[in-house]
Chains A and B, each alone.
Chain A
Amino acid sequence: SQQGEEDPQALSIQEGENATMNCSYKTSINNLQWYRQNSGRGLVHLILIRSNEREKHSGRLRVTLDTSKKSSSLLITASRAADTASYFCATPPGDSGYSTLTFGKGTMLLVSP
């Protein structure tokens, strides 16, 4: 079964608004990563947050991690039309028992001009 589960499945907002996506996972982790995928394209690594970190920023991205709730959130501030993509959380090998990253189902974000 998948390790990560994102919600919402789809999110539609206007340019300039903030977008928040959530990810829940099942087992203990060393870190959690967020990826973006434009339609029909490969994955782009966005940000990695380690299990001993609670919050991390990168440009307009803000990621939080709550290991007690086994959840993470990705916030995109002041969204742009170019942010339209699918966003996946992924957990690494190790405690999950998998040999590679395990991806959630993703959130499809649509940012309208």
Chain B
Amino acid sequence: GAVVSQHPSRVICKSGTSVKIECRSLDFQATTMFWYRQFPKQSLMLMATSNEGSKATYEQGVEKDKFLINHASLTLSTLTVTSAHPEDSSFYICSAREGGPTYEQYFGPGTRLTVT
């Protein structure tokens, strides 16, 4: 099956710094990538949807200036958490899809962000 990777798997950073998380589709071209956030014992909440070559669409309540998403190629999307605060500590999961809504979504293994 299709594989989606994320890097890093875990990151600890200091409050006020920025952190970049990469999401790659390894064996397919992802026209659409999704970023989710998951707090402990909670469900996945969609943060934003990004289509290759265009600006990401953010869900209500997600600050676009804080969570910068770049989908510059068909195999790579990045999420940058700017000026991170402890409340941004969470599990971030990306997902990729080769085509439109009828295509299957494949999930990355997640990135655990801890802001101290």
CA distance A45 to B4 in the complex (A): 13
For chain A, what secondary structure do more than half of its interface residues adopt (helix, strand, loop), or is it mixed?
Answer: loop
Contact with A along B105-116 (1 / 0, CB 8 A): 101111010000
Q: Say yes or no: is A28 at the interface (Cβ < 8 Å to chain B).
A: no
Contact B49 A99 (CB under 8 A): yes
Q: How large is the interface on B (under 10, 10 to 19, 20 to 34, 35 or more residues)?
A: 20 to 34
A101 touches B105 (CB 8 A): yes
Chain A, interface size category, equals 20 to 34
Is A105 a contact partner of B107 (Cβ separation < 8 A)?
Answer: no
- Flag if A92 contacts B101 (CB, 8 Å): yes
Q: Which residues does B use to contact A, with CB under 8 Å? A: 6, 34, 41-44, 46, 49, 57, 91, 93, 95, 97, 101, 104-105, 107-110, 112
Pick from A35, A43, A93, A106 the residue with the most CB of B within 10 Å.
A43
B110 to A41, Cβ gap below 8 A?
yes
Task: Provide a sorted-by-A list of 24 A–B residue pairs whose CB atoms are within 8 angstroms.
Answer: A2-B43, A35-B107, A40-B91, A41-B110, A42-B93, A42-B107, A42-B109, A42-B110, A45-B104, A88-B43, A88-B44, A92-B101, A93-B101, A94-B101, A98-B46, A99-B49, A99-B57, A99-B101, A100-B34, A100-B49, A101-B95, A101-B105, A104-B43, A108-B41
Q: A42-B108, A103-B43, A104-B43 are in contact. List 5 more A-B contacts (CB 8 A).
A: A2-B43, A40-B112, A88-B44, A100-B105, A108-B41
**A contact residues vs B (CB 8 Å cutoff):** 2, 35, 40-43, 45, 88, 92-94, 98-106, 108
